[in-house]
Amino acid sequence: QWDAQVSNGQAIVHLFEWPWSNIASECESFLGPRGYGGVQVSPPNEYVKVYQGDVRRPWWERYQPVSYQISSRSGNDADFRDMVARCNNVGVRIYVDGVINHMSGWWPAGTGSTGTSGFDAGSQSYPGVPFSAYDFNDGNCNTGSGNIENYNDASQVRNCKLVGLNDLNQGSEYVREKIVDFLNYLVDMGVAGFRIDASKHMWPGDMKIIFDRVNNLNTDYFSAGARPFIFQEVIDLGGEAISGQEYVGNGRVTEFRYGKYLGEAFRGYNQLTYLSNFGEGWGMLDRAYSLVFIDNHDNQRGHGAGGANILTFRVSKWYKMANAFMLAWPYGFTRLMSSYYWDQNWVDGQDKNDWIGPPMDASDNIIGPSINADQTCGNGWICEHRWRQIYNMVQFRNVAHGTDMNDWWDNGNNQIAFCRGNRGFIAINNEGYDLKQSLQTCLSEGSYCDVISGNKEGGSCTGKTINVGSDGVAYIEITTMEDDGVLAIHAESKI
């Protein structure tokens, strides 16, 4: 449950709001060939269609389930199945965002959904599962509003409603069975695991009972006895009643401090020199239990946790530097974010457009990404995972997998460099002046292609070429004029 069950790739990407058919093609044409391990997909099961004044089909409607029928704006059951098979066939795993803490919030009777089940939120009737009022936590919640009011009280965080969402009682045997059936339906199809949404809001012991009942992975694609990968979304920046540590017995846990601290460092509120013991040394979870990322679909738009220092595609130079550091650094299992663009509208420090959903047509169907000649995406999709600096660092991580960090160097401030065994070398310059320095790269003598400024194509390099001497030392230069503040070479970028 801690092992991502990848066939090879050591990083996964969240293709936020992508249609299943686009993900299937992306696995075949890009993710497989480029060494991505898998994809986190948006919730696939039936949910509320939200139309609320100006708010039309927000991304967050997917976090208001109506049933476990596989039917969403990304496609139906057959589309989903086709994607899972096609991605597995090219060695790319699918991880489902499992929304099992709650069902929908309150909506008037007759509100539509993305499937055929229908629901009545007021009487807590979800006939597609079926769930009824007995299956919810109202009787176990003691707050006046029925909502979570105080994050210092663990029992209300778990037994009361999160922002008005009808809170399922995972202490009930019947509820557990329905959730297990849903997860097993997906596992049997060939899914490799789950992001467990809102894990902080469920009791770890109840979750353990549920996960222990989930089937082994499908042997068409996985070895016999392989367990589903579980990564639990627990926002723990410290100072609350509930900690991420309580969940490590069930699977991995999202380490939100990781992206927050790197955001602060690259924005200049902390020096890169301190990153030499980044991870456990900074009070984060043990690397064997953590899932790490620079931003996610919540904190890239001011939801969730991390605050204003989170780096996103909007500050692309820092974003590429932070992702490069993450992918080069031997801590945790790594996840990348892949976004669509939206126009922000800042009013009193808040983006009034933080609800905007993916690009859609006049019938509110998602318009999936198109692929431009230069490999970037069109139709309003950012596709960070297709940026050269990012996909080449995914390859770096795969090449360096199994080695530790060694030969750390820094200038005492914001220039750093380190090796990964004798497999990879990276240097980062976040200083206002050039980095020009002879450094130990730990690589064997030869010429290497810097995979940040270019690609190794055939026998040559479209970017900087680095000459490593017989002593492993190379002259490294990253000027402030360059597009990127990173340089990276590895055993497979030798030319």
- Using CB under 6 A as the criterion, which residues of the chain lie in contact with ligand LM2 when the complex forms? 60-61, 63-64, 99, 105, 162-165, 197-198, 233, 298, 303-304
Q: What angle do CA 233, 63, 158 make, to 5 degrees?
A: 50
**283 Ramachandran zone, left/alpha/beta (phi>0; psi -120 to 50):** left
Which of ligand LM2, Ca ion, none interacts with 64 (beta carbon under 5 to 8 A by kind)? ligand LM2
Kindly tell me which of 364 and 445 has the beta carbon lying closer to ligand LM2: 364
Candidates 290, 390, 308, 408; CA nearest to 349 is 308
Q: Which of 17, 46, 61, 197 is catalytic?
A: 197
Phi then psi dihedrals of residue 56, to 5 deg = -115, 115
Is 197 catalytic? The answer is yes
Of 135, 167, 233, 384, the residue at the interface with Ca ion (CB under 5 A) is: 167
Question: Would you tell me how many other CB atoms lie within 10 Å of the CB of residue 171?
Answer: 16
Kindly tell me which of 339 and 440 has the beta carbon lying closer to ligand LM2: 339
Residue 161 engages Ca ion in binding (rule: CB under 5 A): no
Q: What is the distance between the alpha carbons of residues 487 and 495, in angstroms, rounded to a whole number?
A: 16
End-to-end Cα distance, the chain: 39
Site mask for Ca ion (CB under 5 A), range 77-106, x = bound: ------------------------x-----
Q: What is the distance between the alpha carbons of residues 294 and 319, in angstroms, rounded to a whole number?
A: 8
Residue nearest Ca ion, Cβ-based: 201
What pairs with residue 426 in β-bridges? 418, 488
Residue 257 engages Ca ion in binding (rule: CB under 5 A): no
3-state secondary structure of 426: strand
Pick the stretch among 50-58, 162-170, 318-326, 407-415 that binds Ca ion (CB under 5 A).
Answer: 162-170
Kindly tell me which of 16 and 418 has the beta carbon lying closer to ligand LM2: 16
For residue 164, what are the contacts with CB-CB under 8 A and spacing of at least 6? Answer: 105, 106, 147
Which of ligand LM2, Ca ion, none interacts with 22 (beta carbon under 5 to 8 A by kind)? none
Q: Do the bridges between strand 51-52 and strand 45-47 make them parallel or antiparallel, or are there none, so unpaired?
A: unpaired
Kindly tell me which of 236 and 450 has the beta carbon lying closer to ligand LM2: 236
- Report in angstroms how near the CB of residue 71 gets to Ca ion at its nearest: 24
Which of ligand LM2, Ca ion, none interacts with 171 (beta carbon under 5 to 8 A by kind)? none
Q: Do the bridges between strand 252-254 and strand 350-351 make them parallel or antiparallel, or are there none, so unpaired?
A: unpaired
- Report in angstroms how near the CB of residue 165 gets to ligand LM2 at its nearest: 6
Residue 255 engages Ca ion in binding (rule: CB under 5 A): no
In the chain, the largest separation of any two C-alpha atoms, in whole Å, equals 74
Which of ligand LM2, Ca ion, none interacts with 164 (beta carbon under 5 to 8 A by kind)? ligand LM2
**DSSP count for the chain of H helices, then E strands:** 8, 27
Kindly tell me which of 53 and 458 has the beta carbon lying closer to ligand LM2: 53
Question: Would you tell me how many other CB atoms lie within 10 Å of the CB of residue 213?
Answer: 14
- Report in angstroms how near the CB of residue 166 gets to Ca ion at its nearest: 10
3-state secondary structure of 423: coil
- Sign of the C-alpha dihedral, residues 225, 231, 232, 236? positive
Residue 62 engages Ca ion in binding (rule: CB under 5 A): no
Which of Ca ion, ligand LM2, none interacts with 233 (beta carbon under 5 to 8 A by kind)? ligand LM2
Kindly tell me which of 156 and 389 has the beta carbon lying closer to Ca ion: 156
Of 201, 260, 423, 456, the residue at the interface with Ca ion (CB under 5 A) is: 201
Residues 377-380: contacts with CB within 8 Å, 24+ apart?
380/340, 380/341
- Report in angstroms how near the CB of residue 101 gets to Ca ion at its nearest: 5
- Report in angstroms how near the CB of residue 105 gets to ligand LM2 at its nearest: 3
Phi then psi dihedrals of residue 221, to 5 deg = -125, -25
Kindly tell me which of 13 and 168 has the beta carbon lying closer to Ca ion: 168
Q: Which of 233, 298, 384, 484 is catalytic?
A: 233
Is 17 catalytic? The answer is no
Which residues participate in catalysis according to the annotation? Answer: 197, 233
Positions touching Ca ion (CB under 5 A) are 101, 158, 167, 201
